[in-house]
Structure 1
Amino acid sequence: MADDEKRVFLTVGTTAFNELINTVNQSDICNVLKELGYSRLLVQKGRGQVDPKQPENIEGFRVEHYQYKESLHDDMQEADLIISHAGAGTCLEVLNMQKPLVVVINEELMGNHQLELAKRLQSDSHLFYTTCKDLPDLLRNLDISSLKPFETGRPEKFASFLDKAMGIS
C-alpha cells in the first residue's frame, strides 16, 4: 500500500445491512469515491449475505471485504473517511478518533433510535447522515471541512446524550 493512498472504511458492525452493501455494489458510489481521490474501499460486512464487488472499469480503485475481525480499530485508524451504520458504539469510536464519518441509516429497523442519534450528531456538525438511496448524492457534495471535532474524554456526556436521544431520561 502506498503511503499516499486515500482509504475509505465501511462498517456495518455485527448486524446485516445488505441494503448498504447492495447500494455500494449497484450505484456509482465507487466512481464518486474515485473522483474524490480515494483509491481503496475496505468493507466489513457483518452478518450480511451480500459480498461487496470490485467495480468494473474503474482503474486504480479496489474494493476488499471481510465479515468480522476481533477489532475494527486499525481499519478505522487507517481510513481517511468512514462510512458506517448508526450504531452508538461505532459512532463514538469513530468520533473519538476524529475521523470524518458518514452514517447510513438502516430504515428497516423498528423504532429507529439510530435516526435520532444520527440527527443529533449531524445537527452538532460531528458527522453526516443519510439513507442508502441518498448516499451517492451526499458523497458527491461532501464537505469534510464543515465537520467539528467531537469532544473526547467525556463518556458520561455521550451516555447522557444517548439516554436523551432514546427517551430514557
Structure 2
Amino acid sequence: MGDTENGEKARKTVFVTVGTTLFDALVRAVDSLEVKQELLKRGYTHLVIQMGRGSYTPTKYGGEDGSLAVDFFTFSSSIADYLRSASLVISHAGSGSIFETLRLGKPLIVVVNEDLMDNHQIELAEELAERKHLYCARPQTLHQTIESMDLESLLPYPPGDAMPVAKLINQFLGFPDD
C-alpha cells in the first residue's frame, strides 16, 4: 500500500521543529534509537529535524540499508514547505507551529518543554490533545506516544474558529465564561 509503482517504498517524512527555541531534549529524543525504530515500524522513511539554537547535533544518516534517513538544519526562512511535505510533524509547543501544522491538516505530536518556566504552552497543547486534534508528549515519553498513536482518530481543527482558544486564554487569565 505504501509502495510506488516501481516497487520502491513511498517517501514518508517526519518533520521535527523546535522553532527559534533551544530544545535539545526534543532533538535528543527524536535522535534516539527507540524513537527511530518506532518511526520505521510505522513506515516512515525520512526524519528531518529543525534543531534551532540547540547544541545537541543529531546523527545524519542516508538510510541506504532500509533504516530511517536522518537530516537536520538549524533555521530556515520558512518551514512551510517542510510542513507541507511531512507525513507527520513533531513540534515544540509554540502556538505558531501548532496552528500552522493543524491548518495544513497534518498529524501532529506536540512535545512539551518542561524546562521552560511559566509554560502556558502546556495548557494549549493539552487542551488541543484532549479535543483530539493532536497528540501531546514529553521528550521521555515520545517513543511510547508514537508506538500507541492512532492517526485515524485525530480530528481536523476547524479553521478560523478562534472561540475555543479565546475561551482557553480567558480561563487561563481568570476571566469568567460568558
Query: Taking structure 2 as the reference length, what is the TM-score of the superposition?
Result: 0.86
3-state SS of paired residue (1:20) = helix
1:130 counterpart (128, 137, 149): 137
Structure 2 distance, partners of 1:12, 1:41, is 14
Pick closer, same or farther for the CA change 1:163–1:31 going to 2, 3 Å. same
Gaps of 5+ in 1: none
1:33 counterpart (39, 50, 63): 39
Structure 1 position 158, deviation (Å): 5.9
Sequence identity (%): 35
Aligned partner of 1:141 in structure 2 is 148
Q: Deviations over 1:62-107 (max 9, x none)?
A: 1001111111000000000000000011101001111000000000
For the pair 1:71 / 2:70, whether they are aligned, the reply is no
Structure 1 position 4, deviation (Å): 2.1
Matched to 2:115, the amino acid is: E
Structure 2 distance, partners of 1:103, 1:165, is 21
1:8 counterpart (14, 29, 32): 14
The question of whether the paired residues in 2 share the 8 Å contact of 1:100 and 1:144 is answered with yes
3-state SS of paired residue (1:82) = strand
2:29 counterpart (19, 23, 47): 23
The question of whether the paired residues in 2 share the 8 Å contact of 1:9 and 1:42 is answered with yes
Aligned partner of 2:158 in structure 1 is 151
Structure 1 position 24, deviation (Å): 2.1
3-state SS of paired residue (2:173) = coil
Aligned partner of 1:81 in structure 2 is 88
The question of whether the paired residues in 2 share the 8 Å contact of 1:76 and 1:94 is answered with yes
3-state SS of paired residue (1:129) = strand
Larger radius of gyration: 2
Structure 1 distance, partners of 2:171, 2:35, is 30
* RMSD, matched Cα: 2.1
3-state SS of paired residue (1:107) = coil
3-state SS of paired residue (1:77) = helix
The question of whether the paired residues in 1 share the 8 Å contact of 2:61 and 2:71 is answered with no
Matched to 1:82, the amino acid is: V
2:60 counterpart (50, 54, 61): 54
Query: Taking structure 1 as the reference length, what is the TM-score of the superposition?
Result: 0.90
Structure 1 position 112, deviation (Å): 1.6
104-113 or 3-12: bigger deviation: 3-12
Structure 2 distance, partners of 1:73, 1:164, is 30
The question of whether the paired residues in 2 share the 8 Å contact of 1:83 and 1:104 is answered with yes
